[in-house]
Structure 1
Amino acid sequence: MAKNDLTTGERINWKNFAICFLVSLGQIAFGYPASIIGTTLGEPSFLIYMSILNAETGELTTSGNQLIGAMSGVFQAGAVLGVLFASWVMDRYGRKAGMIYCAVFSLVGGALLCGSINVAMFIVARFLAGIGSWGFLAVTPTYCAELAPPKHRGFFVGMNGINIALGYGLASYMGMAFFYAPYGEAQWRGPLGIALLWPFMMLIIIALPFVPESPRFLLMRGRIEEAREVTMRLHSVKGDPDQEFARAEFYQMSKQTEFDRTLDPSWMEMFRRPSYRKRTFMAMGFAFIGQSTAVLVINNYGPLQYAALGFETEDQLRLQCGWISVGVIFNAVGALLMDKFGRRPLMLFGVFGCCVCLIIEAAMVGAFAEGPNAGENKVGLAFGVVAFYAFLAVYSVGIDVCGVVWYSEVL
């Protein structure tokens, strides 16, 4: 490829960027409901309403810890079904249909959460919300990866990571804001109700006339002229009068689709074919490592962990807001660095950095938050908070934002 072609390929079609940005906002519909449980469990009014906390003694009931674990974990259980079915809907009906599927489950689950009158209803609603919310985690990065130009794929798809963190942040900010509401149900129903805004927003975005179906999906369905029109519109750039870059992108997509049609795309083939199996295990392995860093434990139980470090309810919520804000900033840093330094160096940095931060955190908790002198060493307790913040910084740069890009590229 000539030097001029390389320069052309590095330019950004801002219409393409705007579409990928709007679709990446779907990650707020994942991040917000995934994170809101943390501040919800930090509200005494919620715990008392659900009979998890004894109002007179201020202590958890005998089944309190089990119910808290169920409320948190069932969301991830819904994720298993959500991701599997979202993938099937995407392949059969299109990427936009996949987003509609996620939005519907998110709205139903979110409405039931906001209106829950007992623990059982809340747990069922969390399961349904998990189906829709986690589905977005699979759908929107796929869509963005299929529209993004190769030179900027890290940035375009990385916006999904930024919006995941933004969703987490908004949940913490709303939890903090409603903490100052009059004591009662509004303190926790309000933030849960706000979760309905994000999937509704996605339905509006999908309906916008300039948001197209993925050209790769159109090619797989034999809708060649539609795919060509979308590709030329989204990959045309100024300074390329013959639009050679857009033509080259469409040619590459077409040839790849011709080859893909000769392959067996079944679930069994993912594990039966050696090349598929290797990539599948690589993607699953890194996703497993990312979740094994305990990021969701820290997020969901953040206020409870800050309580163990000796902080009162208001300070717990403030620290949770600060922690989430770190994620928003460093996801953006990772998205900007990825196309320059590559995926692998940042991923290694993220994994080893998280390990170091968790070792420090465990040492601080063991030394200063437990035992007969617990809570006396304020410097040690503060350093425990710093370790949490440093953890999220390296996780955001090396695992969160890199993961959503790397999964789509390796597969």
Structure 2
Amino acid sequence: MALPPKVYQFLVSVFASVGSILYGYDLGVIAEAIASDNFNNQFHPTKAEQGAVVSVFTGGAFFGAMFSGVAGDYLGRRSTILLGSIIFILGGALQTGAQSLDYLYAGRCIAGLGVGFLVMIIPLYQAELAHPDIRGMVTALQQFMLGIGSLVASWCAYGTYTNFSADNSAQWRVPLGIQIVPAVVLAALIMFFPESPRWLIDHGQAEKGLRTLARLHAHGNESDPWVQAEYNQIQDAISFEHEHEAKSYFELFKSKSSFRRLILVTAIQASVQMTGVSAIQYYSPTIFAQIGIPTGDTLKYQGINSIIALIAQALCIAFIDKLGRRWTMIGGNLGNMVTFIIATALLASFPPGETKNLGAEWGFIIVTWVYNFCFSCTNGPLSWIVPAEVFDTRTRAKGVSIGVMVSFAFNTLIGQVTPIAMESVGWRYYILFVVCNFTNALFFWAFQPETKKRPLEEMNYLFTNAPLFVPTMNMKDYEQHDLENRLEEAERKASISSHVEESDGRYQETATKIS
């Protein structure tokens, strides 16, 4: 029995999200790797070198995201995923065999380059495959699989730390080497999955695009009313884009509608990093050590943290298409702000390394868990969902590319600055994230329109006609209903055709009897 279309779309997207596991795994593994006894005994990294181990990866990812916009448009979505996987495999191998910090830097930079390709193109690919009703669920898989990667990394690092001695480099080499496995699987199988129908239609392969739409939405039935309605809408939208828009980065800055979307997307990506997530992910083991928590316990608590994040991400997948994007983003930032206020108060009252207080230790651990839950069910997934759905076909890859570049630029900045800032100003550094979470919430309340369940081809209408200051608008006034109207028309034509065929059949039967 054939799978229901939405289930098929979801499963295709699950496989594509294997690429997100790579990023999540790195986020989870690198903090544990640089905290391991053998790593520190072998390389003796300074605070700046610890920051460089983290930030050189995100620096490479910045350039990967930069190149992926062009690659996604010219090579296609699947081929870009393949390219990113191959680059990551090379970088992962170099990291695993590193004999010096310079060797490790090179491997992490190359792996970051591959991740930059993958995290840009995967949510875009998912959004272009999915039905509008499940698009949020599907693109939220990016953060969920990132959480899977982080979970696996945390427990792998914990296992190698507890089972290998401090004089065995397997403490950190094994966790770094495991990340190669999902990259090999993704590279080997991605070309067996469907290409984006929008990319095919945009590149003169309309018939193949129609077949792909039918495969995704109607078990291969090209006459299905939904398939015909969406195919016609995509064709009309792309024809308009070809006539009125240049397929270049310049178009994102020239068109007011495109520029508005670009500002929103870059603000989302920058704001996500300024929630404090990178500071928590990369350096919480160091902070735990400073407040007196043993390394083994720290790694165990990080593993629990990853499970909490996964539960939160699963909740987002289940409810994001019901709750919407705008208020989820606002609420997430306000929740993050509260957790950072508490964390700042704890660090100020019980300075790490100066006092020993069991209640403060557990308070900081629990606040970290609560923050991670809040971030993982709101801002984290939405940083992939919204950018992938707001641009039109001609500018989508390049717009998402710029957004991801901004994300990695801020990620690199936080990764490099955090260990130095924590050493220099201590708990006062966390005040930055309290302020940023509040201003994030204020910005999205003012300027982010709701986009849930809106077809991709109707985003242009929303961002062209809706007022810039969102609280004054009625969203129903800016619902185009173009796809619904096309679907009704396609169903009407299908019904007429069916009646005509039925009448012809009765006529033929009558004629046969008479003769």
Report the TM-score when normalising by structure 2: 0.72
What's the counterpart of residue 65 of structure 2?
83
Structural mapping, 1:295-306, within 5 Å? 295-306=277-288
Say whether residues 1:14 and 2:4 are aligned partners.
no
Query: What residue in structure 1 maps to residue 447 of structure 2?
Result: none
8 Å contact kept, 1:16–1:147: yes
Q: What is the CA deviation profile of residues 343-392 of structure 1, one whole-angstrom value per residue up to 9, with x for unaligned ones?
A: 111111111111111111111112123475x12x2112211111111111
Structure 1 match to 2:374 = 394
Q: Does 1:189 align with 2:173?
A: yes
Counterpart Cα distance in 1 of 2:27 and 2:91? 12
Measured in 2, the distance between the counterparts of 1:79 and 1:277 equals 24
Once residues 290 and 275 of structure 2 are traced to their aligned partners in structure 1, the CA distance between those partners, rounded to angstroms, is 20
Q: Determine if contact 2:126/2:139 at 8 Å carries over to the other structure.
A: yes
- The structural deviation recorded for 1:174 is 0.8
2:239 is aligned with 1:246: no
The corresponding residue for 1:207 is 191
> Residue 469 of structure 2 aligns with which residue?
none
How far the C-alpha of 1:13 sits from its partner, in A, is 3.0
The alpha carbon displacement at 1:402 in A equals: 1.6
- Pick the structure with greater CA Rg: 2
Q: For residue 118 of structure 1, report the CA deviation from its aligned partner.
A: 0.3
Q: Which residue of 2 aligns with 1:6?
A: none
Tell me, what secondary structure is at the counterpart of 1:41? helix
Mapped to 1, the partners of 2:126 and 2:150 lie a distance apart of 21
Residue number among 7, 23, 28 corresponding to 2:21 in the alignment: 28
Q: Counterparts of 1:200 and 1:237 in 2: how far apart (Å)?
A: 29
Measured after TM superposition, the shift of residue 196 of structure 1 is 0.5
Q: For structure 1, which runs of at least 5 residues remain unmatched after alignment? A: 1-10, 53-63
CA distance in 1, matches of 2:301, 2:180: 25
Cα distance in 2 between the residues matched to 1:261 and 1:174: 49
> Any conservation in 1 of the 2:53–2:108 contact (CA below 8 Å)?
yes
Query: Is 1:280 matched up with 2:262?
Result: yes
Instruction: Report whether the alignment pairs 1:69 with 2:35.
Output: no
Paired amino acid for 1:348: I
Work out whether residues 102 and 131 of structure 1, in 8 Å CA contact, stay in contact via their aligned partners in 2: yes
Aligned to 1:151: 133
Which of 366, 384, 387 aligns to 1:404? It is 384
Q: Tell me the secondary structure at the aligned position of residue 212 of structure 1.
A: coil
* Contact kept in structure 2, 1:42 and 1:317, CA below 8 Å: no
Letter paired with 1:294: G
| CA shift digits 1:279-312 (9 cap, x unpaired) | 1011000110001112112111121121122200
Between 84-93 and 248-257, report the one with greater CA deviation: 248-257
Taking the TM superposition and a 5 Å limit, the aligned residue runs for 1:245-264 are 245-262=226-243, 263-264=245-246
- The answer for the alignment partner of 1:327 in structure 2 is 309
Aligned partner of 1:385 among 348, 356, 365: 365
Structure 2 match to 1:341: 323
| Counterpart code for 1:378 | L
Q: Which residue of 1 aligns with 2:433?
A: none
State the match for 1:169 in structure 2. Answer: 151
Hey, what does 1:265 align to over in structure 2?
247
Provide the rounded CA distance (Å) in 2 between the counterparts of 1:28 and 1:371: 35
**Who is 2:289 aligned against?**
307
Q: Which letter does structure 1 place at the counterpart of 2:59?
A: A
* Separation (CA, whole Å) in 2 of partners of 1:370 and 1:160: 35
Contact 1:13 1:237 in 2 (8 A): no
The one-letter code of the counterpart of 1:120 is D
Map 1:42-121 → 2, pairs under 5 A = 42-52=35-45, 64-121=46-103
Letter in 2 for 1:49: Q
**1:303/1:232 CA distance change after superposition, 3 Å:** same
- The structural deviation recorded for 1:207 is 3.3
- Superposed counterparts of 1:132-143, under 5 Å: 132-143=114-125
Whichever residue aligns with residue 386 of structure 1, its letter is I
Contact 1:79-1:133 within 8 A present in 2 as well = yes
Q: Distance in 1 between matches of 2:97 and 2:353?
A: 41
Distance 1:407 1:123 in 2: 30
Distance 1:203 1:186, change over 3 A: same
CA distance in 2, matches of 1:46, 1:309: 21
Equivalence for 1:227: 209
* Deviation string, structure 1 residues 150-188 (Cα, Å, up to 9, x no partner): 011111111111101111111111101111232111111
Contact map agreement 2:78 2:191 (CA 8 A) in 1: no
Letter in structure 2 aligned against 1:243: D
Distance in 2, matches of 1:221 and 1:322, equals: 46
Unmatched 5+ stretches in structure 2: 392-515
Q: Deviations over 1:163-221 (max 9, x none)?
A: 0111111111110111123211111100011010121111123133xx11111110111
Aligned residue number for residue 403 of structure 2: none
Partner Cα distance (1:241, 1:230) in 2: 9
Distance 1:194 1:371 in 2: 34
CA distance in 2, matches of 1:158, 1:280: 20
> Offset of 1:242 from its aligned partner?
5.7
Q: Which amino acid aligns with 2:234?
A: M
1:60 — aligned with what? none
